[in-house]
């Protein structure tokens, strides 16, 4: 176990994070086993044609609004039993697009209305709540703007909600643009795992299943009985579905009914979507978990699974804790192998628990076609690792109760690889989270070197995957940035704003590159000499030749000189000079002035022993003493190493570095405000 209190704390956090992450991972595998059971519920009477209202919540979706309305109006269902409500809170060209198409289909005899609240209060939940006040049909179907329901959807899905205890049927999401890029493929695989593992495992059971916000049908009585749509979280769908199941309603997942949708093709849009899901889930945990824990009649497993489902995004901050802690533990020579001195078992355990298990799940999900999708798994691992910063910010936002606007995920009507989104409106710029991702990427490069130089190369692939993820998400966030404030997409202010944004990008890129250079050069000048000194101490421990020991001590003195210059001089309790990297509660063991004196004393004793006969007992005593002193000095250097990372100079540099980047963001924000005020 680590002797240094700081290293002990880092080690404890690392192990605790590993245990919690492993628990969540094992639960996913447990659900994968449950998902193998056949779904036994049979649909009701096929001829049953209840009245249904189809609600289409829309906000600024001019590229996909017409496609959605046309698909809904093409549904094969009796017109006199079907009502369509276009819930339009838009404030751009979407209003005119929807106005024209609603009027067109109304003229054809459809019961369709264009609902304009005149406010965006409550966002999507507010629009749905407003619509429910005038909804009197038996069923309510909901589709987001980017979905394309097939014509047979109602005919096939409605019979599954015929049983009076079923309050919701959720259909599987398809992906109309899955093959557009590596980004869309990774998202598609992640969503497929959610639906075909988690949703299937929980469907029509005592476990709570969540509504995914779209491509589902509700029984109207279920919505009203459960308290209706609530505006208190960013995931009104998860909130309502949990309240419904707490009230005794059943939720059913239909894996064979697939509704295609458009995946985000821009990285910043995908990050916004992931942020909303992560934050909303934690908000629901804060709101609902105490009620679930005390609700009578719920099975224990249902309570446990509800806790895991609502809190699972805490895995992301724990991933960052592990990522930050790992190189510190490696350079401190803390043994992290699964079985001591057997590094191969560590990487084998990682592969078995991670990629290996996911491959087996994919084989079960996709059947014979799984091999054609297996190559997507590395992209998903990198994508998930890189998203940990974005989702960690979301988790902390929710925990500390920060209020956020419901920010939609922009869609562009992209259905093929030949189409391009870059010249369209709604493009999102990168945010300050991208800077954190870049920081973690640079830190990961240093961590790779730390793993190599500490003789722990087995950890390099693990660190490299996360590092690649951070750089991938950050680089895509920057390269996908298209700053165009004009909602119509027309040229104008976009040109001036884009110029300012490109200048800001250049400045931020320069600062990040400079920061990376300084981090690597700082490691070379501050940390690597300590690594070399520990290596020389190992040489002394393994030697009984005075000449060899003196060579090692000379090399240690050469490294000590530059290190001493890096550490500010202080004064000990007796007035003596000290140079201690531990600036908060320093101890004599990490004082490099004392270490330098011990090295000089050891050198004098070894030179004296060199004049003795090798058969002399005093000679052997001197060699044993030199080895023991080397062990102690090695521990002292190892204890001091972590504090070199957090030296006062490094903290000042890091603060200035971050302040410079934030200053660029502040200047850019002022420029945007000037452009908007000028109405250019």
pLDDT (mean) for 466-479: 92
pLDDT band at 614; cut points 50, 70, 90: confident
Which is more confident, 313 or 366? Answer: 313
- 409 has a pLDDT exceeding 60: yes
Residues ≥6 apart with Cβ < 8 Å to 16:
none
- 291 has a pLDDT exceeding 90: yes
Which is more confident, 362 or 103? Answer: 103
Max CA separation in the chain (angstroms): 112
pLDDT band at 640; cut points 50, 70, 90: confident
Instruction: Please provide residue 396's backbone torsions phi and psi, each rounded to the nearest 5 degrees.
Output: -65, -35
Among positive and negative, which fits the CA dihedral 192, 390, 511, 675? Answer: positive
Tell me what percent of the residues of the chain surpass a pLDDT of 90: 56
Among 87-96, 365-374, 535-544, 637-646, the range with the most confident prediction by mean pLDDT is 87-96
Residues 140-149, buried b or exposed e (16+ Cβ, 10 A)? bbbbbbbbbb
Which is more confident, 527 or 281? Answer: 281
pLDDT (mean) for 411-431: 88
* pLDDT the model gives residue 446: 86
Q: Which phi-psi region, left, alpha or beta, contains residue 78 (left: φ > 0; alpha: ψ -120 to 50)?
A: beta
Segment among 327-336, 394-403, 492-501, 658-667 with least mean pLDDT: 492-501
Kindly report, residue by residue over 132-183, the tens digit of the pLDDT.
Answer: 999 999 999 999 999 999 999 999 999 999 999 999 999 999 999 999 999 9
pLDDT (mean) for 633-641: 86
pLDDT band at 6; cut points 50, 70, 90: confident
Asked if 69 contacts 33 with a C-beta cutoff of 8 angstroms, the reply is no
Which tokens in the block code for residue 576? Answer: 């003596």
pLDDT (mean) for 422-445: 87
Residues 215-233, buried b or exposed e (16+ Cβ, 10 A)? bbbbbbebbeebeebbbeb
pLDDT band at 344; cut points 50, 70, 90: low
pLDDT band at 42; cut points 50, 70, 90: low
Segment among 290-294, 484-488, 518-522, 672-676 with least mean pLDDT: 484-488
pLDDT band at 46; cut points 50, 70, 90: low
Which tokens in the block code for residue 382? Answer: 């990198």
Kindly report, residue by residue over 222-274, the tens digit of the pLDDT.
Answer: 999 999 999 888 899 999 999 999 999 999 999 999 999 999 999 999 999 99
* pLDDT the model gives residue 368: 78
pTM above 0.85, yes or no: no
- 504 has a pLDDT exceeding 50: yes
Segment among 127-136, 378-387, 463-472, 519-528 with least mean pLDDT: 519-528
Q: Which of 641, 634, 636, 609 is nearest to 541 (CA)?
A: 634
Which tokens in the block code for residue 17? Answer: 């994070």
- 88 has a pLDDT exceeding 90: yes
pLDDT band at 490; cut points 50, 70, 90: very low
As a whole number of angstroms, the distance between CA 288 and CA 242 comes to 8
Q: Which of 89, 397, 591, 639 is catalytic?
A: 89
The packing angle between helices 460-479 and 343-351, to 10°, is 50
pLDDT (mean) for 5-28: 89
Q: Which of 88, 192, 237, 531 is catalytic?
A: 237
- 554 has a pLDDT exceeding 60: yes
Q: Which of 426, 428, 437, 427 is nearest to 393 (CA)?
A: 437
Active site residue 531: no
The alpha carbon of residue 593 and the mean position of all alpha carbons in its chain are separated, in whole angstroms, by 44
* pLDDT the model gives residue 678: 55
Kindly report, residue by residue over 565-605, the tens digit of the pLDDT.
Answer: 888 888 877 778 888 887 767 778 888 989 999 999 999 99
**Angle at CA 99, nearest 5°, toward 49 and 81?**
10
Instruction: Please provide residue 427's backbone torsions phi and psi, each rounded to the nearest 5 degrees.
Output: -65, 140
* pLDDT the model gives residue 485: 44
- 663 has a pLDDT exceeding 50: yes
Which is more confident, 577 or 217? Answer: 217
Among positive and negative, which fits the CA dihedral 78, 167, 210, 190? Answer: negative
- 2 has a pLDDT exceeding 80: no
Asked if 244 contacts 221 with a C-beta cutoff of 8 angstroms, the reply is no
Asked if 373 contacts 366 with a C-beta cutoff of 8 angstroms, the reply is yes
Which domains are present in the chain?
Answer: 1-34+266-411 (no CATH), 48-263 (3.90.550.10), 527-644 (1.20.120)
* pLDDT the model gives residue 500: 63
- 483 has a pLDDT exceeding 60: no
pLDDT (mean) for 89-112: 96
DSSP string for 524-570? IIIIHHHHHHHHHHHHHHT---HHHHHHHHHHHHHHHHHHHHHSPPE
Which tokens in the block code for residue 270? Answer: 């995908």
- 54 SS3 class: strand
Say which DSSP state 285 is in.
H
pLDDT band at 3; cut points 50, 70, 90: low
Active site residue 237: yes
How are strands ordered across the β-sheet holding 82-88?
112-115, 82-88, 52-58, 139-142, 216-219, 166-175, 250-261, 147-148
Element (H, E) at 256: strand 250-261
Q: Which phi-psi region, left, alpha or beta, contains residue 51 (left: φ > 0; alpha: ψ -120 to 50)?
A: beta
Q: Which of 547, 650, 635, 570 is nearest to 598 (CA)?
A: 635
pLDDT, the chain, mean: 87
pLDDT (mean) for 36-63: 85
- 335 has a pLDDT exceeding 70: yes
Which tokens in the block code for residue 199? Answer: 């949703």
pLDDT (mean) for 304-321: 96
pLDDT (mean) for 543-564: 90
pLDDT (mean) for 373-402: 92
């Amino acid at each position: 176990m680590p002797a240094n209190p700081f290293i002990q704390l880092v080690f404890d956090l690392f192990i605790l994070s590993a245990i919690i992450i492993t628990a969540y991972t094992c639960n996913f595998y447990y659900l994968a086993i449950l998902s193998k059971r056949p779904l036994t519920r049979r649909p009701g009477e096929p001829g049953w044609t209840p009245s249904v209202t189809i609600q289409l919540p829309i906000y600024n979706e001019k590229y996909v609004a017409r496609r959605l309305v046309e698909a809904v109006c093409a549904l094969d269902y009796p017109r006199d039993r079907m009502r369509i409500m276009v819930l339009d809170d838009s404030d751009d060209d979407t209003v005119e697009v929807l106005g024209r198409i609603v009027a067109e289909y109304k003229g054809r005899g459809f019961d369709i209305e264009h609902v304009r609240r005149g406010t965006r209060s409550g966002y999507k939940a507010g629009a749905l709540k407003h619509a429910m006040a005038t909804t009197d049909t038996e069923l309510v179907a909901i589709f987001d703007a980017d979905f394309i329901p097939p014509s047979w959807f109602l005919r096939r899905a409605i019979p599954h909600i015929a049983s009076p205890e079923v309050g919701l049927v959720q259909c599987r999401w398809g992906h109309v643009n899955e093959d557009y890029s590596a980004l869309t493929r990774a998202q598609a695989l992640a969503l497929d795992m959610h639906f075909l593992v988690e949703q299937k495992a929980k469907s029509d059971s005592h476990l709570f299943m969540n509504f995914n916000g779209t491509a589902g049908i509700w029984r109207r009585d279920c919505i009203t009985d459960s308290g209706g749509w609530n505006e208190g979280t960013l995931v009104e769908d998860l909130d309502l579905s949990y309240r419904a199941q707490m009230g005794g309603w059943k939720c059913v997942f239909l894996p064979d009914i697939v509704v295609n949708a458009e995946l985000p093709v821009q990285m910043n849009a995908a990050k916004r979507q992931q942020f909303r899901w992560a934050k909303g889930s934690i908000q629901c945990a804060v709101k609902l978990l105490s009620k679930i824990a005390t609700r009578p009649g719920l099975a224990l497993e249902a309570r446990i699974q509800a806790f895991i489902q609502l809190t699972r995004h805490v895995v992301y901050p724990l991933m960052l804790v592990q990522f930050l802690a790992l190189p510190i533990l490696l350079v401190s020579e803390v043994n992290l192998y699964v079985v001591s001195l057997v590094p191969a078992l560590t990487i084998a355990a990682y592969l078995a628990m991670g990629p290996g298990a996911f491959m087996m799940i994919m084989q079960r999900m996709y059947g014979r076609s799984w091999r054609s999708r297996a190559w997507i798994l590395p992209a998903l691992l990198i994508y998930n690792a890189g998203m940990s910063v974005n989702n960690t910010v979301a988790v902390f936002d929710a925990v500390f109760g920060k209020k956020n606007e419901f920010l939609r995920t922009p869609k562009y009507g992209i259905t093929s690889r030949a189409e391009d989104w870059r010249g369209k409106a709604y493009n999102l710029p990168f945010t300050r989270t991208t800077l954190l991702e870049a920081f973690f990427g640079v830190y990961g490069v240093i961590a790779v070197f730390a793993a190599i130089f500490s003789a722990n190369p087995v950890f390099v692939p693990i660190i490299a995957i996360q590092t690649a993820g951070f750089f991938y998400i950050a680089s895509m966030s920057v390269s996908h940035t298209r700053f165009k404030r004009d909602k119509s997409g027309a040229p104008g202010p976009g040109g001036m704003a884009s110029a300012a944004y490109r200048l800001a990008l250049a400045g931020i890129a320069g600062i990040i590159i400079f920061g990376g250079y300084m981090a690597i050069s700082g490691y070379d000048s501050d940390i690597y000499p300590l690594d070399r000194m520990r290596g020389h101490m190992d040489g002394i421990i393994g030697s009984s030749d005075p000449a060899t020991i003196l060579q090692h001590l000379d090399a240690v003195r050469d490294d000590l000189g530059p290190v001493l210059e890096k550490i500010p001089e202080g004064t000990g309790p007796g007035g003596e000079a000290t140079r201690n990297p531990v600036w908060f509660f320093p101890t004599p063991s990490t004082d490099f002035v004392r270490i330098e004196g011990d090295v000089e004393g050891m050198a004098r004793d070894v030179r004296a022993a060199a004049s003795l006969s090798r058969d002399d007992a005093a000679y052997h005593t001197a060699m044993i003493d030199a080895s023991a002193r080397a062990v102690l000095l090695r521990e002292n250097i190892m204890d001091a190493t972590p504090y070199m990372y957090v030296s006062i100079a490094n903290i000042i540099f890091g603060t200035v570095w971050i302040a410079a980047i934030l200053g660029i963001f502040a200047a850019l924000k002022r420029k945007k405000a000037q452009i908007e005020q000028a109405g250019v």
